[in-house]
Amino acid sequence: MAAATIERIGEHLFVNADCVRGAAAHLADGSVDLIVTDPPYGIEGDRLDRHYNRDERFVDEGYVEIEARKYASFSRAWIAQAERVLKPGGQLYVVSGYTNLYDVLGALRKTSLREINHLIWKYNFGVYTSSKFVSSHYHILYYAKPGGRRRFNLQARFALDETNADGRSLNYRDREDVWNINREYKPGQRKNKNELPKALLKKILAYSSKEGDVVCDFFLGGGSTAAVVIGMNRRFIGFEISERTFRSRIPDLREIVAGSLLETAPEPHVVRNRGKSWSAAELEQLDGRFKELHASGATRAAIIATLSAELERGAWAIRKRLRSARNF
Ligand SMILES: C[S@@+](CC[C@H](N)C(=O)[O-])C[C@H]1O[C@@H](n2cnc3c(N)ncnc32)[C@H](O)[C@@H]1O
């Protein structure tokens, strides 16, 4: 067997090989913090364009599918490697269609990995059908390896007391197990079949990892996971069996600037003054800034968010004060 091609981009490692062999050769037991991966779904490739009603000219031709009859044994093989390489407490997110979902679930149940959530990702532009319901979701199977502390950044994207204009908790809503995230529309650009949107990957990484963590993707494809991992300052290792796909994506990945996505990934909101009584100076500041913001035409939600950040108090506390002082 020919040696696998390996590309290094800084501290990130890309291996052009079957993931089962690649993981055996390149990943030590208990060396990975997080695996985020999207295996082929075992659907005949030439049906995918009809499924997604799209122009196939720009879709990468290197895509390697798994034969349906081998799907169960292949799932067991790669998921056994995933279990081995994860650290205790390490986590695995697998994106799966419904067609061969039972094989993926069956393989997961043969391991020590524990189910944390069965998420549903609802996307736009579902698979058009006229004689049955339109399919517009994927499953995301969120598992963890027992024996260590699992990282879950509770306030990764919204503070516990952040609310929308209707007073509903943004944190709660963000942590519901049905995610509405649109696919990326990339007219005229090269893409992998089933490319994952960056918003979805950023959400997973924000909740389940920290900067410097080792994050692995067993099925690189178009490299969206790799791009977000590098952009969020984690360390990447991944595998892709198709030489054509591998070669076509490496140049783009070289262009990703480490940490470049961190600015757009909101940091946990600091609420330093939570629970402290209000001083006269703070109340004056609240009143003065409220008048300014209101006069500028800012929305109610924007006013609360701005005051919350400036006064380092939760949105709920700001709203309560404004309500009692000005019936806001
Ligand atoms: C669903 S795609 C991944 C898409 C990727 N998440 C993205 O956003 O672009 C699955 C990829 O796995 C690759 N693949 C198939 N069998 C493989 C194997 N045994 N080892 C590694 N990669 C494999 C396919 O060629 C394809 O590029």
Atom of ligand 1 nearest to the CA of 74: 19
Pair (303, 242) in one structural domain = no
Specify the range with the lowest mean pLDDT, choosing from 6-10, 134-138, 144-148.
134-138
228-242 tens-digit pLDDT: 999 999 999 999 999
Which whole number is the average pLDDT over 66-95? 97
Pair (87, 140) in one structural domain = yes
d(CA 325, CA 296): 20
Confidence label for 192 from pLDDT (cuts 50, 70 and 90)? low
280-311 tens-digit pLDDT: 999 999 999 999 888 888 778 778 888 888 88
d(CA 291, CA 309): 16
d(CA 306, CA 65): 49
312 Cα to the center of ligand 1, angstroms? 45
Q: Assess if residue 260 is contained within a domain.
A: no
Which whole number is the average pLDDT over 35-58? 65
pLDDT at 268: 45
Pair (60, 151) in one structural domain = yes
Domain endpoint, select from 220, 237, 254: 254
Confidence label for 267 from pLDDT (cuts 50, 70 and 90)? very low
Q: Assess if residue 22 is contained within a domain.
A: yes
Q: What is the CA radius of gyration of the chain?
A: 23
306 Cα to the center of ligand 1, angstroms? 43
pLDDT at 12: 97
Q: Assess if residue 267 is contained within a domain.
A: no
pLDDT higher than 90, residue 124: no
Q: Assess if residue 263 is contained within a domain.
A: no
Pair (122, 223) in one structural domain = yes
Q: Assess if residue 262 is contained within a domain.
A: no
pLDDT at 55: 47
Pair (47, 93) in one structural domain = yes
pLDDT at 44: 64
Q: Are strands 12-16 and 235-239 parallel, antiparallel or unpaired?
A: parallel
Confidence label for 272 from pLDDT (cuts 50, 70 and 90)? confident
| Ligand 1 mutation target, pool 219, 246, 256, most atoms within 8 A of CB | 219
Ligand 1 neighbourhood includes 240 CB (under 6 angstroms): yes
Token pair of 2, please? 């020919």
Pair (115, 213) in one structural domain = yes
Ligand 1 neighbourhood includes 16 CB (under 6 angstroms): no
Atom of ligand 1 nearest to the CA of 65: 15
Pair (169, 307) in one structural domain = no
Pair (293, 228) in one structural domain = no
Question: At 245, which amino acid appears?
Answer: T
Domain endpoint, select from 212, 239, 254: 254
Token pair of 71, please? 């799907």
Pair (196, 243) in one structural domain = yes
pLDDT at 269: 56
pLDDT higher than 50, residue 264: no
Angle at 206 between CA 175 and CA 145, to 5 degrees: 80
pTM, 2 dp: 0.79
Pair (199, 313) in one structural domain = no
Q: Assess if residue 274 is contained within a domain.
A: no
* 246-277 burial: b if 16+ Cβ within 10 Å, else e: bebbbeebeebebeebeeebeeebebeeeeee
**Residue 164 belongs to what domain range?**
5-254
Total structural domains within the chain: 2
197 Cα to the center of ligand 1, angstroms? 15
Ligand 1 neighbourhood includes 162 CB (under 6 angstroms): no
CATH number of the domain to which 27 belongs: 3.40.50.150
Q: Region of 125 please: left (phi>0), alpha (psi -120 to 50) or beta.
A: left
Bridge partners, residue 37, by sequence: 94
247 Cα to the center of ligand 1, angstroms? 13
Pair (184, 149) in one structural domain = yes
More confident of the two residues 95 and 187 = 95
pLDDT at 127: 75
Confidence label for 60 from pLDDT (cuts 50, 70 and 90)? low
**Using CA positions, which residue lies closest to atom 19 of ligand 1?**
18
Q: Assess if residue 220 is contained within a domain.
A: yes
pLDDT at 51: 44
Ligand 1 neighbourhood includes 246 CB (under 6 angstroms): no
Pair (50, 132) in one structural domain = yes
139-184 tens-digit pLDDT: 999 999 999 999 999 999 998 988 888 889 999 999 999 999 998 8
pLDDT at 276: 87
Ligand 1 neighbourhood includes 231 CB (under 6 angstroms): no
Report in angstroms the alpha-carbon separations of 328 from 24, 125, 325: 61, 40, 8
Confidence label for 275 from pLDDT (cuts 50, 70 and 90)? confident
pLDDT higher than 50, residue 207: yes
Ligand 1 neighbourhood includes 100 CB (under 6 angstroms): no
| Ligand 1 mutation target, pool 37, 43, 64, most atoms within 8 A of CB | 64
Q: Assess if residue 144 is contained within a domain.
A: yes
